[in-house]
Structure formats: C-alpha cells, structure tokens
Amino acid sequence: MHKAKLGFLSLAMLLAACGTTQTQRQGQAGVQLDPKQGVFIAVPQDPADPDYAGVGKFLAYDLAEELNKRHVSVGIGKEKASPEENLAAAKQQAAGYLIVPDITDWQHHYTDIAPVGKANSAGFTMTVLKVADGSVVRSDDLAKSGTHVSFIGGGDPKDQMKSAMEDYVESLYPDN
C-alpha cells in the first residue's frame, strides 16, 4: 500500500510539472496608455482552421472586458473591417488608441495528452496605434503555452488567450 501511495504521489508531481503555463512577451514593453483616453479594438481574423471560427471576435470581446475592468472606455470594430475602416471608426468614437490584434498561433490538441512535444498554445501580436496620427505606440508579441497533460483545465487556447489578455492589459495600465 505504501508503494501505491508513493506511485500516486510521483504521478501527481509529474502531472503538476507538465501542467505549467508559460507566457513570453516581446516588443516595446513599458509604454503605458493613458486610461482617460478610450480604446477601439479591431477584430482580428480567425485562424485558418474552420474549427476555430469566431476566435477573433472572442479575443476582441475578452480584451474589451479586461479594459472595462480598468474603467477604460472601449469600442469594438466589425469583423473583416479594413485597417482604414477601423481607424475611421476609432476616430468617430473619439478613442485615443486603436488596438490591432493579430492571432499568430492557435494550437489546440483535442486529446487529454497532446502529441509528444506539442502543447496547446496561443500567440498574438498586439499593436497599439495613436488614433490622432496612426503612429505605433507599442507592439507586443505574446505567446502562451499550455499543458501537455491537462486534467484541470487551462490547456485550451481560449483559456490561454484570456490569461494572455489579462496580463497584457496589466502591462498597458499597471497603476490603474
């Protein structure tokens, strides 16, 4: 019986080690946004895989929710809008910033145990433009890598995206 408990404890520790989530951030970090200026969010294109339809809209609405928690005025663009249409809509809303997300990675393995070496992952490029002149305020590459083995949740790219957006908004408004 002692060996069974030891084996179970070892398995639990192994699963915990496999269950980490990592975030990587690159780009012009440190540039903070003025919370008094509104934000307009462009809806990014969905990943090419038809199984992921609606992910772009989900990202935009989740980002808006995180910004609302910081009492920032938010508007959301239309799906498949051009960059010019998004900038015009941001100006019409009198937003100070336009956030243009791009989904660069979306890997969801539909088994509890992903293929060896392939964790669920999500990646984004987040570009913040100043609406007044269209200049880039900051650009960040976010990558969120999940679990190889997931029995407790958090491995789905949508969960990873939500966590990444929370971290990202914290970097935009750290004191708000």
Q: What gap in Å lies between CA 37 and CA 32, rounded to an integer?
A: 12
pLDDT per residue over 22-52, tens digit each? 444 445 556 899 999 999 999 999 988 787 8
pLDDT of residue 6: 42
What's the domain count of the chain?
A: 1
**Coil, strand, or helix at residue 64?**
helix
Nearest CA to 38 out of 85, 96, 89 is that of 96
pLDDT of residue 56: 95
Q: Which two tokens stand for residue 81?
A: 């809008």
Range of the domain at 90: 2-172
CATH of the domain at 125: 3.40.50.10610
pLDDT per residue over 75-92, tens digit each? 999 999 999 999 999 999
pTM of the model: 0.76
pLDDT per residue over 5-18, tens digit each? 444 333 333 333 33
